[in-house]
Amino acid sequence: MSSSFYERDKGLLIVISGPSGAGKGTICKELLKHEKNLEVSVSATTRDPRNGEVEGKNYYFINKANFLDMIGNNEFLEYAKVYDNYYGTPKSPVLEKMDRGIDVILEIDIQGAAQVRANYPEGIYIFVVPPSIKELKKRITERGTENPEQLNKRMECACDEIRNATKYSYIVINDEVTVAAKQVSAIITAEKCRSERLKSKIEEIIGR
Ligand code: 5GP
């Protein structure tokens, strides 16, 4: 991956992290409505599907043995154990999309983001936070997908996770989803104008 440093025609790798309930998924959905050159990577997980979640769309739901096989076969760009389940990003679909010039978003936890960053520092690292912890609890409770024990676990982890926000290049406060999605779009646009990414374009303009 590192040989691809700032290649102009290559898609961007955008990593979004943030505590459960911060609204990463909703922001991605909103972004997909407006950004035509963008796809969200579908992760594999050992957690059970929630009501309404669709295989291959939300996640690839696989068992632990299959997940461990995929680790052994080096099929993940990154993987981590989060809230007692394994989650991982299948490598080849991401690399293949970026090679075709498509920007790819990974919606992954802080451990996975650190693994990706080690191999791909030119990626775009964005941390999404809720406006307050009170609001975060309200959102997770209203979502109704976690039992009280799971809810408490996610709330306990939330503050620890948010402490990592300043390690990311960008922080987006998700108070209102359309505003937050616009901020992520602006980040993507600015990254595309980075001089490092446009070196070959400049050569082209001056006719070298
Ligand atoms: P959930 O169970 O709510 O769908 O996801 C729980 C946490 O796992 C979220 O923080 C989410 O960003 C993270 N996650 C989802 N997919 C991946 C993945 O492929 N890799 C890593 N490292 N984390 C993931």
85 pLDDT above the threshold of 70 = yes
93 belongs to a structural domain: no
23 lines ligand 1 (CB under 6 A): no
Residue 22: domain span: 3-41+102-205
Sequence length of the chain is 208
Whether 6 has a pLDDT exceeding 70, the answer reads no
Angstrom CA distances, 127 to 83, 166, 180, stand at 19, 8, 11
Amino acid of residue 137: K
108 part of a folded domain: yes
* 35 Cβ inside 6 Å of ligand 1: no
In-domain check, residue 127: yes
Kindly state the tokens that stand for 193: 């104008």
pLDDT class of 9 with cuts at 50, 70, 90? confident
Q: Which atom of ligand 1 is nearest to the CA of 76?
A: 19
Name which residue sits closest to atom 1 of ligand 1, judged by CA: 20
Structure tokens at 135: 């609001």
Any idea what the CATH number is for the domain that residue 30 is in? 3.40.50.300
Distance CA 111, CA 148 (A): 25
Asked if residue 55 is part of any domain, the answer here is no
**Residue 170 covered by a domain:** yes
* Range of lowest pLDDT (39-53, 79-93, 151-165): 151-165
CB-CB contact of 42 with 53 (8 Å): no
With 70 as the cut, is the pLDDT of residue 47 above it? yes
d(CA 137, CA 66): 33
pTM here is 0.92
Judge whether 107 lies within some domain. yes
What is the average per-residue pLDDT within 176-192? 97
Indicate the DSSP class of residue 196.
G
Q: How many A from CA of 142 to the centre of ligand 1?
A: 19
In the reported structure, the alpha carbon of residue 46 is separated from the centroid of ligand 1 by a whole-number distance in angstroms of 11
Rounded Cα distance, 22 and 128, in Å: 6
Ligand 1 atom with the shortest distance to the CA of 111: 22
Does residue 112 line the site of ligand 1, with CB under 6 A? yes
Whether 22 maps to a domain, the answer reads yes
- Number of domains making up the chain: 1
Helices (H), the chain: 24-34, 64-72, 91-99, 110-119, 133-143, 148-162, 177-192, 199-205
Picking from 38, 17, 27, the residue whose alpha carbon sits closest to that of residue 171 is: 17
Q: Tell me what pLDDT residue 2 has.
A: 44
The pLDDT of residue 131 is 96
The mean pLDDT of 73-95, rounded to a whole number, is 96
Q: Does residue 184 sit within a domain?
A: yes
